[in-house]
Chain A
Amino acid sequence: MDHIITLFFRSIFVDNMIFAFFLGMCSYLAVSKNVKTSIGLGLAVTFVLCVTVPVNYLLQTLVLGPDCLIKGVDLSYLAFILFIAVIASIVQLVEMVVERFSPALYGALGIFLPLIAVNCAIMGASLFMQQRIGLDPSSPQYIGSILDALVYALGSGIGWTLAIVSLGAIREKMAYSDVPKPLQGLGISFIVVGLMALAMMCFSGLKL
């Protein structure tokens, strides 16, 4: 139980997708123009993470790992293709559900919903999960069961949502500030994210 709580909070604050690993930057910068769409995308990413990471965990431990399918064969090199196929199909599913139940959100997210398929945060979480299976079980980052995988995905998704919503809020306020012309838009967003990342670094000594 301790391990799960530690894993959860670590993946929100310490191993934050955006501030520590820069995963999902493209859509992070493109969609965070206001709070409302930020929340929408954050929830979409969290949801897709919570589905794909456990599925990929099962795939990794039951099919791809050493000696799983055929004795003496390690299929891990197929991980990239299989993970991306799982992610692409689940994203397709989410897109259809959102289009059916929330046309407004679908309209707001527009092109970025299909882009979740190529959002590095989704693929990155699966790859980090694959890496963490091999860690020492006493490490706080260790993922040893499907529950761990789910908690890791949920924590990462919440961390990502937190990051995009706070950037969205800052950018809404920034519309009123006097930024040099060439720095407007993208340039200043990068610097803001950089400063936020510096601030988040204070969590890196977090002990739970």
Chain B
Amino acid sequence: MAFFSNRIKEVFLSPLNILNPVLVQVLGICSALAVTSQLKPAIVMGIAVTIITAFSNLIISVLRTTIPTRIRIVVQLVVVAALVTIVSQVLKAFAYDVSVQLSVYVGLIITNCILMGRLEAFAMQNTPLQSFVDGAANGLGYGMILVIVGGIRELLGRGTLLGYQIIPDVAYEHGYLNNGTMTMPAMALIVIGIIIWVHRAYFYKNDK
């Protein structure tokens, strides 16, 4: 089937493991750290970024032959800003509490380097379908890291996942304490550092 040609498959899978945008290309770190103190905003942010990367890649790829190279950055920014505005208004209308939690970080999706990176590196050279898949895959790769970090921080910092208690009461009675530092911004950096360590250790071994 043409849709699942090898090229598309490769484009889809590589951002999810080997070329993960956050871990390997170090793109989009800012928001990855700030929204991950709990799982729920992390998931919402992952979905929002996936939608925006996929559609901005699609739009830019459709327009790629008509955009003059000199002003391409401005065109890209306008397309992205328009998409982000739509997503932000939708979030405000349908998930107000999450949109308050995400505060300025929804707006900061505009300056998320994953978007500009993919637009410059991929959508300007490839067909719309491939670009769409590439955008979606990079968004998912990013969302995956957000969910992992958000999950770790919420579980260790509050003993809950998505607001439901996971650590049983018995553990607390025997002296288990939530690690309050996990909910602080600094620990997000350290958790991502350790994830990068694990990821690299795993893939370096495969290379040799």
Could you list which residues of chain A lie within 8 angstroms of chain B, going by C-beta atoms?
Answer: 19-26, 29-30, 77-81, 84-85, 88, 114-115, 117-120, 122-124, 127-128, 131, 180-183, 186-191, 193-195, 197-198, 201
Contact = CB atoms under 8 A, between A and B. Distances in A.
Contacts of A24: 30
Contacts of A193: 189
B113 interface: yes
B19 interface: no
B80 to A, nearest CB: 8
Contacts of B187: 194
Given A25-B33, A26-B26, A80-B110, A183 B200 contact: yes
Most chain A CB within 10 A, of B27, B112, B200, is at B200
A45 B108 CA distance: 16
A84 B110 contact: yes
A124 B104 contact: yes
B185 A26 contact: no
B98 interface: no
Contacts of B184: 198, 201
Given A29-B26, A128-B104, A88 B189 contact: no
Contacts of B56: none
User: Which secondary structure dominates where chain B touches chain A?
Assistant: helix
A203 to B, nearest CB: 13
A21 B34 contact: yes
A129 to B, nearest CB: 10
Interface in B91-119: 103-104, 107-108, 110-113, 116
Nearest to B205: A182
Interface string B78-93: 1001101100110000
> For this complex, into which size category does the number of interface residues on chain B fall?
35 or more
Contacts of A21: 34, 185
Nearest to A21: B34
A30 B26 contact: yes
Interface string B22-39: 000011111101100000
A182 B111 contact: no
Contact of A84 (B27, B81, B88, B89): B81
Nearest to B89: A77
A88 B77 contact: yes
A190 B188 CA distance: 9
B204 interface: yes
Contact of B29 (A20, A26, A198): A26
B30 to A, nearest CB: 4
Given A26-B113, A77-B88, 17 more contacts: A19-B185, A26-B26, A30-B26, A80-B88, A80-B107, A81-B82, A84-B77, A84-B110, A114-B73, A118-B110, A123-B107, A131-B103, A182-B197, A187-B196, A191-B189, A194-B189, A197-B186
A188 B194 CA distance: 9
A29 B29 contact: yes
Given A120-B108, A122-B111, A124-B104, A88 B185 contact: no
A24 B186 CA distance: 15
B192 interface: yes
B121 interface: no
A80 B82 CA distance: 8
A188 B33 CA distance: 16
B186 A81 contact: no
Contacts of A195: 186, 190
Contact of B104 (A20, A29, A127, A198): A127
B2 interface: no
Contact of A81 (B28, B85, B193, B197): B85
A22 B29 contact: yes
Given A88-B77, A191-B190, A118 B113 contact: yes
Contacts of A26: 26-30, 113
